Amino acid sequence: MAKRSLASLSTDDLQGKRVLVRVDFNVPLADSGAISDDTRIRAALPTINALTSQGARVILAAHFGRPKGQVNEAMRLTPVAARLSELLGKPVVKTDSCIGPDADAKVAAMADGDVVLLENVRFFAEEEKNDPGFAAKLAALADVYVNDAFGAAHRAHASTAGVTENLKPSVAGLLMEKELQYLQGAIDEPKRPLAAIVGGSKVSSKIGVLESLIDKCDKVLIGGGMIFTFYKARGLAVGKSLVEDDKLDLAKELEAKAKAKGVQLLLPTDVVLADAFSPDANTLTTAVDAIPDGWMGLDIGPDSLQAFQEALADCKTVIWNGPMGVFEFDKFAAGTNGVAHTLAELSSTGCCTIIGGGDSVAAVEKVGVAEKMSHISTGGGASLELLEGKVLPGVAALDDA
C-alpha cells in the first residue's frame, strides 16, 4: 500500500499554503499538569520544520485523552502548545476550539512559516464518529493535508480519515512514512531470518499478532504472562500464575500451526517466581515443569534468556512487542532488560531491530538503549494492527503514490 508522502510535494506546492497536519500529541501528564514525556511532540518536529522551512502555514490537529465529545478543561492542549513553542523556538498560537470563529480568525491571521495548534479535536463527539460535516469544517481551514499521527492511524476518525475527502493532496508525514517503511517493510520484505519477540500478560490481546507473525516469521519467541496459558495447555501446573482458561485450545492451535509451518516457536524453559505480586516479594527460579503451588511467574529465567539470545544471534530482522515480565519491579526485570541489551548489540551488527510500541518502548528507554534500535514505533494499537496485517484507515485514506 504505497502512499504519497510529504517528500513528493515541492516548495511551490507548499509556499503560502495552509497545511492541516494531524499529529499524535497524546502525551502523559504528571500530577502537577506538566508533560512527563514529550517523545511524541519531538517525533513530529521533522515534519513541522520541513513544512515551515518551505513557507507553509502549519495548522496542527491533535487529540488528548478521552473527553468523550465534551469540553474537559483538564484535557486542553495548553501545556502541549507551550512545550512545542519551546522546542520550535517560536510562538505557537492555540485556538479555543478546533472549529468555529476563533479557529477561523487565528488561521486567517497566519503568516508563512507560522504554526497554530487547534484545540483538542475530541471535544466534539463528531470527531470519533467521522462525521462528514465536522470533517468538512476542519478541512475548510486548510489547502493541503498531512497525516503524521501513526499512533492514531488505526482509527477512522474525522481528523485522520474524513478530512481527506475534502483536501487534496493528502499525504503521509515524515514520521508516518518512517513507521510504514519499517513496520510494513519488516512484514512484507524482511531481511531473513526474521524473528518476533512477543510478550505481555495476555494471549487474548496478542492473538491476531501471533497468528500473523507465525505466518511470516522464521522464529517466534514468547515471554510475559501469556506463557502460562501455553504451559497449562500442555498440562503443566502453573501455581498462581496468570492463565486465560478460555484460551487453552488457542494456545495448542498456535503451537501446532508453528510446527506445521516449520517456524521455531520458543517458550521459556525456566521462570522467576514470586510468592506475591509485589516489588519486594520472595523469589524462586525454577524449570517450567516444576512450579510449586502458591507461586506465580513474573519473569523469564536466566536459561530462557540465554536460549532467546542464541536464537536471535543469526537474525537479520527482529520485531519486539511486549515485555518478558513485570519489568516495573526490579526483581522481575532481568528478562526484559536482557532482551533490550541483546537487541542493542544486534543493531550494531546490522540487524534491523524494531520496537513495536507500548511497554517495549518504555523498557528500552528504561534500560537506556533506545537510541541504539533501528526503529522505535510511536504507535501502540496501530503497530499491533499493522503487524496483524490489518489495513489502517488513516493510511488507506491518503493519496496513492
Residues annotated catalytic, as ranges: 40, 202, 358, 381
Residue 333: how many other CB atoms lie within 10 Å: 22
Per 3-state DSSP, the chain is made up of helix, strand and coil in percentages (nearest 5) of: 40, 15, 40
Which residues are 317's β-sheet partners? Answer: 194, 352
Are 238 and 267 in contact, with CB atoms under 8 Å apart?
no
- How far is the C-alpha of 51 from the C-alpha of 112, rounded, in Å? 10
Amino acid in position 232: K
- Grid cell 510478550 is found at 199
> In whole angstroms, what separates CA 31 from the centre of its chain?
24
Q: What are phi and psi of 263, to 5 degrees?
A: -90, 135
- How far is the C-alpha of 117 from the C-alpha of 98, rounded, in Å? 8
Q: How far is CA 164 from CA 11, 138, 399, in A?
A: 21, 10, 9
Measured distance between the N- and C-terminal CA atoms of the chain, rounded to whole angstroms: 9
Are 5 and 13 in contact, with CB atoms under 8 Å apart?
no
Are 117 and 62 in contact, with CB atoms under 8 Å apart?
yes
Please work out, in degrees rounded to the nearest 5, the angle formed at the alpha carbon of residue 149 by the alpha carbons of 144 and 151: 160
